[in-house]
Amino acid sequence: MSTATATALRGTLRIATAGSVDDGKSTLIGRLLHDTKTVFEDQLSAVIKASRRYGDGETNLALLTDGLRAEREQGITIDVAHRYFATPERSFIVADTPGHAQYTRNMVTGASTADVAIVLVDARHGVVEQTRRHAFIATLLAVKGIVVAVNKMDLIDWDEAEFDIIAKEVEAYVEALPTPVPVVAIPLSALLGDNVVGGSVHTPWYDGPPLLQLLEQFDNQPRIAVGPRLHVQRVIRPQGGEFADFRGYAGVLSGGTLAVGDTVTVQPNGITSTVRALHRAGRPVERAEIGHALVVELADKVDVARGDVLVGADSATPAHVGETVEIDICWMIDAPLTVGSRYWFKHGSRTGRATVTAIDHCHDLATLERVPTDRLGLNDLGHIRLQLSEPIVADRYVDNPDGGRLILIDEATNTTAGAAMVTSIAP
Amino acid sequence: MSLDVNLDTGSSDAAQAQHEAAHLHLDVLTDEAITIIREVAAECENPVLLFSGGKDSAVLLHLALLAFAPARLPFPVMHVDTGHNFAEVIEYRDRLVADWGVRLVVASVQESIDAGRVVEDTGPRASRNRLQSVTLLDAIGEHGFDAAFGGGRRDEDKARAKERILSFRDRQGRWDPRQQRPEPWGVLNARIRKGEHLRAFPLSNWTEVDIWNYIALHEVPLPSIYYSHTRTVVERDGMLLSVGGPVVLEDGEAPFDAVVRYRTVGDASCTGAVESTARTVQDVIAEVAAARITERGATRADDTFSESAMEDRKREGYF
């Protein structure tokens, strides 16, 4: 895991927590919030009051994030909760995700936007099925690093050998995955605070930083640059007044930087033009980075509509245009996905119909085996093929996650049914 | 507002250097919010922006103007008016919509009461806060709005922490926290059937400090009551409530003058002031950074009713 230079400003870090039930995810976040002075007095007194009501012996910091009545009554995390804290170094957005296998879809959602996944392991139990499952999902979703928080070290007397076994097992497991990422392990106690914000007197054998310091220094720069892409969300046309001739294309930049004067191709129709001006948050800019919300003016009057994509003409990797796609998908609804099923798809700003033409396999998350199947059920992860009603301009997810992701929407209920990562696109 | 206006005139060089890390974060949040606003406006036929005159809705409206500049805001704003307002807030609302050239729709809780849609609580502690949900849902139905932007933030309350960016409401306007649509990668699914609607929360990932940093950076005007002033108040349940409006004095309560400001602006009957000498945006930022009590805990009697007060109100269709 690389460390940014001391002088470089570090941007917002998005974190997802994962791990099995009762590994202490919510307690760890509660500890981070508490020890960075992010918890307010009225929140703390409400937590103390609630801890007594639910019969938790001491102040249960998990109640800081388990906000729904059902969660507090059952003592579990059901849905993703978002929490925020900042240090003088950087700001953090934390998605606290559920540990139960039946809420895997919520873990996928929480990890989808994360730079870093913190996978908790109960030191007493070591690596369990959920550890492997969540590490696999995190790498599939292309987090930039995994922190293995070996929690409850106090309950195994801060045993270095036990810690090493767990750390090496996760490292070896992730190394063998299709898309490995760097792994760092930390021995800690979320309950007592050791190695969370400050260090620990119990781990003289551990020479790494405490968790917070590791997160403060984590380099979250994009790992890949395919070249600039901008999915047009909306055409900005003032229609009258001093900006009567203004025509701008609004969208978020992904895949690479874009500057005034750059040549872009409008896909899928293939027309080429030059960037005349860029605007970000209402102000002109000469150059834009990945993630910036832009309005792009082109030098030529070309036909551009919502759903089209502006692609840098000199992209390192050309964007693929096609309506036959292969995807990894996490299934998120009860009604199973089968061959011949039809859904809405949304990719970038383009929506259309999708028909399932093949189910290649389902990932057995415990063994990592590819199991042949004719259906995907709730929380299954599988590899399938889709025929789309219209072409999309896409990247493979491993090349550019922003251009390689799509969702399927159930036609009957309109709910989001699947989260998909493109592995190949063909005409 | 034009694309060329340089809005960045708020703070001195020294202060800006100090807040550089925070502003880097603010840029991320600003890009995210603008993207959400554009996407919902593109996907929905008839959106509306809920505008209370409070700081969050002022920031939301400012972001919405930036999202479509130099074009005009492509949807109206709506104020759900409890009739229990601070005079300064209504004056501010009318001035802002005129200055910024946006179309204002007012939905009146008083009209809901007069029409018999809701029954008002009586007694000295009656509040119209909860009644707003009915007026809001009626107005959404009456105008056929299919999406309503709100300034809600996940850091405000533990139930809000579970809220989606684009949140589904059924035909009765109800929120079901157990049946929320997943939002992988923040991809927004805006598909609904007739009679259902969506709530969109572009400020989901903002904190109170982020809001104030944005107000400072962009010089967003606010109602004067957000800054320190002298006011006649009464202390009730640890909160300072303004005297002279809808708050009715109880036996033994003695009003007194205090130097206060408001941390949130809501229904005047249940929104408390905090003692403060913060007269400028920078004063407020320093005060908020040092605060030890959450804004809702300090200022909203309605949220301290019970542990799940906000979850219960949200299920009924509240903001």
Q: Which of B13-27, B137-151, B248-262 has the largest mean confidence?
A: B137-151
Any idea which residue has 């003695």 for tokens?
B254
Residue B10: per-residue pLDDT = 43
**Do B242 and B276 lie in a common domain?**
yes
Tokens for A106?
A: 């919520």
Domain boundary among B166, B181, B211: B211
Q: What is the DSSP letter of A180?
A: -
From-to residues of CATH 2.40.30.10 in chain A: 229-312, 320-426
Q: In what order do the strands lie in the sheet containing A183-187?
A: A81-86, A91-96, A13-19, A116-122, A145-151, A183-187
Question: Counting beta carbons within 10 angstroms of the beta carbon of residue B72, is it exposed (0 to 12), middle (13 to 18) or buried (19 or more)?
Answer: middle
Q: What is the C-alpha to C-alpha distance for residues B208 and B156, in angstroms, rounded to an integer?
A: 8
Residue percentage of chain A with pLDDT more than 70: 91
Last residue of one domain, picked from the residues B146, B179, B211: B211
Instruction: Give the pLDDT band (50/70/90) at residue A251.
Output: very high
Maximum Cα–Cα distance across chain B:
58
CATH architecture of A13-217: 3-Layer(aba) Sandwich (3.40)
Residues B10-34 have a mean pLDDT of 73
Say whether B38 and A293 touch across the interface (CB within 8 A): yes
Same domain? B34 vs B92 = yes
CATH number of A229-312: 2.40.30.10
Distance from CA of A289 to the nearest CA of B (A): 11
Task: List all residues of chain B from 258 to 317 with a beta carbon under 8 Å from chain A.
Answer: 291-294, 297-298, 307-308, 311
SS3 for A290-333 is CCCEEEEEECCCCCCCCCCEEEECCCCCCCEEEEEEEEEEEECC
Q: Which of B181, B211, B241 is the last residue of a domain?
A: B211
Q: Assess whether B68 and B177 both reside in one domain.
A: yes
Chain B CB within 8 Å of residue A80 CB: yes
Query: What integer best gives the mean pLDDT of chain A?
Result: 89
Q: What share of chain A is helix, strand, coil (3-state, %, to 5)?
A: 20, 35, 45
**Is the pTM here over 0.80, yes or no?**
yes
- Given a cut of 90, whether residue B66 has pLDDT beyond it is yes
Give A309's pLDDT tier (boundaries 50, 70, 90): very high
Shared-domain flag, residues B93 and B226: no
Within this chain, do residues B145 and B71 fall inside the same structural domain, yes or no?
A: yes
Q: Where in chain A is the domain with CATH 3.40.50.300?
A: 13-217
Of B41, B70, B209, the CB nearest to A243: B70
Chain B, 156-185: which have a CB under 8 Å from a chain A CB? 157-162, 177-178, 180-185
Same domain, B129 and B254: no
> Are B65 and B126 contained in the same domain?
yes
What is the amino acid identity at position A219? Answer: D
Report if residue B7 sits inside a domain.
Answer: no
Structural domain boundaries, residue B265: 220-304
Mean pLDDT of A216-224: 85
Strand B197-200: give its sheet, edge to edge: B104-108, B77-81, B47-50, B147-149, B197-200, B166-169
pLDDT at B18 over 60: no
CATH superfamily, domain A320-426, is: Translation factors (2.40.30.10)
Q: Do B162 and A346 touch (CB under 8 A)?
A: no
Is A412 in the B-facing interface, judged by CB distances under 8 Å? no
Least confident of A68-72, A148-152, B26-30: A68-72
Is B6 domain-assigned? no
How big is chain A by its Cα radius of gyration, in Å?
23
Q: Give the sign of the dihedral formed by CA B137, CA B88, CA B217, CA A43.
A: negative
Question: What pLDDT does residue B24 have?
Answer: 87
Q: Between B71, B191, B307, which is nearest A344 by CB?
A: B191
pLDDT at position B302 is: 61
Q: In this predicted model, what pLDDT tens digit does every residue of B157-167 receive, in sequence order?
A: 878 888 899 99
Bond into B70 cis (ω within 30): yes
Question: CB of B46 within 8 Å of any CB in chain A?
Answer: no
What percent of chain B clears pLDDT 90, i.e. is strictly above it? 55
Q: Are residues B155 and B287 in the same domain?
A: no
Query: How much is the pLDDT for A334?
Result: 94
Higher pLDDT, A223 or A340: A340
Taking only the tens place, the pLDDT of each residue in B180-235 is 899 999 999 999 999 999 999 999 999 988 999 999 999 999 999 999 999 999 98
CATH number at residue B170: 3.40.50.620
Percent of chain B surpassing pLDDT 70? 89
| pLDDT confidence of residue B315 | 77
